Structure 1
Amino acid sequence: METLTARSAPAVARNENVDLFRAVSLLMIVAYHAWVLTGSQPTGIGVLDQTILYWGEIGVTAFFLLSGYGIFHSLSRRPVNSLADYRDFLWRRFQRIAPQYYLSLVVVLFLSGGIFFSREGMGSILSHLFFVHNFVPAWHGSINGALWTMGVTVQFYLVAPLLYRPVRRAPLCSMAASVAVTVLVKIFLFPRIAASAGPDASATLLFIYGRQLLTALDNFVAGMAVARCVEIRAPRRKGAALCGFAAGIAALWGLCRWASRSGLHAPTRSGYLWHSLVALCLAGTLLAIHAWQGTSRLPALRRSLLELSRREYAIYIWHLLVIRNLADHSTWVQALCSGRLRLVGIVLVAAVSIAFGIAAHTITEKR
């Protein structure tokens, strides 16, 4: 196998703005789930009500993008040139994600009252253990609804070393090719799923199979392409970065409006293209954020977001379980979120889930 070590670019210094991007993406997902699980009531804030419905979709796309971004830099630092390198790469990824992931499974199974310890439930347990639960609708969100993304992400890890070389040689062409693959797979797959499922099941199945590795491939490759562009030449123009950031946010707003009119999980143009376009907008936004060199006027907020970013994985793993339990079993949360102070209730529920994730990170992560 060709050795890449000598051709690898110097390691790119960690950019705190990317960590801020990660923290904001996390907050979008947590806020979306807090809103949905407490009743999806309008907040009374026009812009918020028009966009919050899509925060989860945008946040997950951003996470996939960041996975590609991070994995590309990891492979640049330690190229995979042999089977031993490949095993080492996968082992390092496993060590990073396994403790928090498996702990959440154990806790849910322990508190489930034995409902998973049956012939049907064992399929959920085994599929989660081996990160293939995202393939089957019955297993997709059966133990922890947030974990379906981990199956897709781990499957990306398996093929990332193969994707690294073409992205390294031609990042923009690789990104365009991944968009073409993703869209074509959806065009082939979605009408067949819709025709075989009833109206109620169709949207759920299209959500599940529209966010598998092949149907989200461009999310990951776009992140890798951004990492490669930064590695080749990190732009430092403040004005261009600001314009790029503003254009990305405006484009995301337009895509949210398009989704509200046309729908997402359907065999339509919006169903085929929306997530790919979001990934491209986020890639441009991430590149602009990476280039931003301005100083923060809110240093306390910046430090708080950076701390959240450091604990992002644990917060993501646990947040949905905490929010669901509060929404289902706490009468005061139900009363608060159904009254005039529902926005306060959503923020409070989200904050409790974040605090729980921070505690879980402290317990499990090495110091």
Structure 2
Amino acid sequence: MQSITLKKPAPFEKYNQPVGDRYIDVLDGVRAVLVLLVGAFHIWQQSWLTPHFTLFGQRYSLDFLLRSGYIWVDGLILLSGFLLYLPYARAEMGKMPPVGPFLLKRFLRIWPSYALNVILFFFLAVEKYNGNGAYMAKDLVTHLTFTHTFFYDTYYGSPINGGLWTVGVEWWFYLLFPLLGRCYKKKPMLTALGMMTCAFVFRAYVSTLTDTRMWFNQLPAFLDVYALGFIGADAFVALRGKLLQSGKKEKRLFSLICLLCVILLVYIAKAQASSSGQEGIRLGQMAHRFPLALCLLVLMISACFASAGVRFVLGNRVMRFLSAISFQFYMYHQVLCVQIRERRLIPSVSETPNRDSEWPWQPVFTLCSFLLPILLGAILTYGFEKPIIRYFEKMRSRKKK
């Protein structure tokens, strides 16, 4: 009787296969890492816990990474531009994705979860309005209509949720995207140059103002980042067609490029962390926005064609899960960690355990501030966000029949 030998699959075999055309696994990891870095910044603002490590007798602090954590929001904007344009990059000129379904899908993906967050934290913050009914109404309405970044009192003065400004920026770009996407498809160089010029001119003008806080993160200041996302989507589609059967040599080259990009990003983060004063921080962020986005773009594309180890780190199941819940995590983490500290849900000896570096309060607080929004994000993603999307998709399919 002939024996049958079961061949054990090679490690990372899945990640040795060509990267997908529609689902790009490594981008899950990119999104997850970027969101966690932003989250680490906000949580660090409440805990003041700065991790460090010792290597070969030399002490290294990660203070710069936490102190500059806000810059990775620009990376999320870049990733959004890349993924938005990717269907256009794949499509032929006469078969562009329709506008209506795109906007409806974006609305259903964002607004219900966003509105739930706004309404929840609005009622939790009612006392902070001091009975000012007009301001309460304005704050709520502008947030629900994505116009809160248009007014100083609803942008910087709102007690609802300071992290929601990015959702407003994204929504207004969604409205512009069908036009910009088609323009870029027809005239890519001219459209990208126009978007970049608008961003550079806008940021140059904002840099001359004595107070930049209202303007440095408005939509025009991100147009070059979105343009880089468009360019990256085109580059990915072109490279994938040529590298479907790439060998070890090409994969090692792209892995090396990834490493170089990480080194450059660390350098940019350190440079931004050295900015002093609020105006200096905002000016530094505007100055570093384009080089940061460019490095991240090269890293993203290179990771798609890198070795199995790189793709595993960014494309594993944990990263996929964190990416799936990233929208909910992003919306809730900052307010939750503030509530944990202000309500003293983690017992402490000191009245100000963050300033007094109280141990073990700092690490316990930090851990809870990550785990709680991850848990809540999972519940809301799979129990609220996705069911709503599935329901409306079923409704649309029934109407088509």
What range is the shorter-chain TM-score in?
0.7 to 0.9
Secondary structure of the corresponding residue to residue 332 of structure 1: coil
In 1: Cα distance, 2:376 partner to 2:155 partner: 24
Whether 2:381 is the aligned partner of 1:361: answer yes
Distance 1:325 1:270, change over 3 A: closer
In 2: Cα distance, 1:297 partner to 1:79 partner: 29
In 2: Cα distance, 1:280 partner to 1:175 partner: 14
In 2: Cα distance, 1:17 partner to 1:108 partner: 33
In 1: Cα distance, 2:31 partner to 2:204 partner: 30
Unaligned runs of 5+ in 1: 1-10, 195-201
Secondary structure of the corresponding residue to residue 209 of structure 1: coil
Unaligned runs of 5+ in 2: 1-19, 54-59, 391-401
Percent of pairs identical after alignment?
Answer: 21
Q: How many residue pairs align between the two structures?
A: 344
After TM superposition, list the pairs within 5 Å mapping 1:139-154 onto structure 2: 139-140=154-155, 142=158, 143-154=160-171
Aligned residue type for 1:288: S
Structure 2 counterpart of 1:86: 99
Asked if the contact 1:100–1:317 (Cα under 8 Å) also holds between the matched residues in 2, the reply is no
Whether 2:340 is the aligned partner of 1:340: answer no
Asked if the contact 1:31–1:347 (Cα under 8 Å) also holds between the matched residues in 2, the reply is no
In 2: Cα distance, 1:306 partner to 1:176 partner: 34
Deviation at residue 351 of structure 1 after TM alignment: 1.7
Deviation at residue 238 of structure 1 after TM alignment: 1.0
Whether 2:33 is the aligned partner of 1:24: answer yes
Structure 2 counterpart of 1:288: 302
After TM superposition, list the pairs within 5 Å mapping 1:210-225 onto structure 2: 210-225=216-231
Distance 1:64 1:268, change over 3 A: closer
Structure 2 counterpart of 1:3: none
Structure 1 counterpart of 2:51: 43
**Which has the greater radius of gyration?**
2
Structure 2 counterpart of 1:4: none
Structure 2 counterpart of 1:34: 43
Deviation at residue 77 of structure 1 after TM alignment: 6.7
Structure 2 counterpart of 1:7: none
In 2: Cα distance, 1:291 partner to 1:301 partner: 12
Structure 2 counterpart of 1:135: 150
More helix by share: 1
Question: CA offsets per residue over residues 88-122 of structure 1, 9 Å max, x none?
Answer: 32112101111110111121123233655710121
Distance 1:100 1:79, change over 3 A: farther
Asked if the contact 1:124–1:133 (Cα under 8 Å) also holds between the matched residues in 2, the reply is yes
After TM superposition, list the pairs within 5 Å mapping 1:124-273 onto structure 2: 124-140=139-155, 142=158, 143-168=160-185, 174-175=191-192, 177-192=194-209, 194=210, 202=211, 206-234=212-240, 235=243, 236=246, 237-263=250-276, 265-266=279-280, 270=284, 272-273=286-287
Structure 2 counterpart of 1:199: none
Distance 1:126 1:268, change over 3 A: closer
In 2: Cα distance, 1:41 partner to 1:112 partner: 27
Deviation at residue 248 of structure 1 after TM alignment: 1.4
Task: Decide which of 316, 323, 326 is 1:309's aligned counterpart.
Answer: 323
Question: CA offsets per residue over residues 229-279 of structure 1, 9 Å max, x none?
Answer: 112222553122112211211111111222233458449974542112111
Asked if the contact 2:213–2:282 (Cα under 8 Å) also holds between the matched residues in 1, the reply is no
Deviation at residue 127 of structure 1 after TM alignment: 0.9
CA RMSD, aligned part only? 3.2
Secondary structure of the corresponding residue to residue 51 of structure 2: coil
Distance 1:98 1:247, change over 3 A: same
Question: CA offsets per residue over residues 36-56 of structure 1, 9 Å max, x none?
Answer: 123x34334534112211122
When normalised by structure 2's length, the TM-score is 0.76
Distance 1:166 1:362, change over 3 A: same
Task: Flag as ranges the 4+ runs of structure 1 deviating above 6 A.
Answer: 77-82, 296-301
